[in-house]
Amino acid sequence: MKKQELNPKEFDIYYKRYIDKLDNETELIEGFIDGKATLISFLKSIPENKLHFRYLPEKWSIKEILQHLIDTERIFMYRCFRIARKDTTALAGYDQEIYIQPSNADKKSLDDLINEFIINRNNSIALLQSLSTDDLSFIGNANGGKMSARAAAFIIIGHDIWHTEVIREKYL
């Protein structure tokens, strides 16, 4: 399944910023596999002294951004799973800001965070491999708007790219 098959009516306009980061030829499962390798390589290239840097006091550190990527993937894959299973229950949004402090991301080693990312990403890939095209095309309701299971998954890949670009532009 390629991104070009995704219809803009399958997701709220808010998520277009992430979907637009993907090439039309981006294939869903390969995007997750390639994205894992790309993000790990990028993170390992960041100097240790930059991992706690904040370009403004209220902004997250790079470690906190990585934790945010992990947490967001968990939430969006949960949405993907529920929607793919034809669950039409409205799925709640979440406040990303309150997740960071209790995560203690800055106290974790980069290796521990990367390991958490890998385990989580591998679980996401396994789930996606178990879903049919019909499952992924089902549209449910997340955060007050329409969302297909595949849109929830594609958003994760674009979200990773979005934050990688932010790190490059504002942290390094």
1 pLDDT more than 90: no
Q: Is the pTM of this model over 0.85?
A: yes
pLDDT digits (tens, 9 = 90+) for 141-169: 999 999 999 999 999 999 999 999 999 99
> Residue ranges per domain, the chain?
3-42+60-170
When mean pLDDT is compared across 26-35, 76-85, 94-103, the lowest value belongs to 94-103
CATH of domain 3-42+60-170: 1.20.120.450
Q: What is the pLDDT, as a whole number, of residue 40?
A: 98
Rg from Cα positions in the chain: 16
Closest CA to 33 of 124, 94, 152: 124
At CA 123, angle to CA 118 and CA 126, rounded to 5?
125
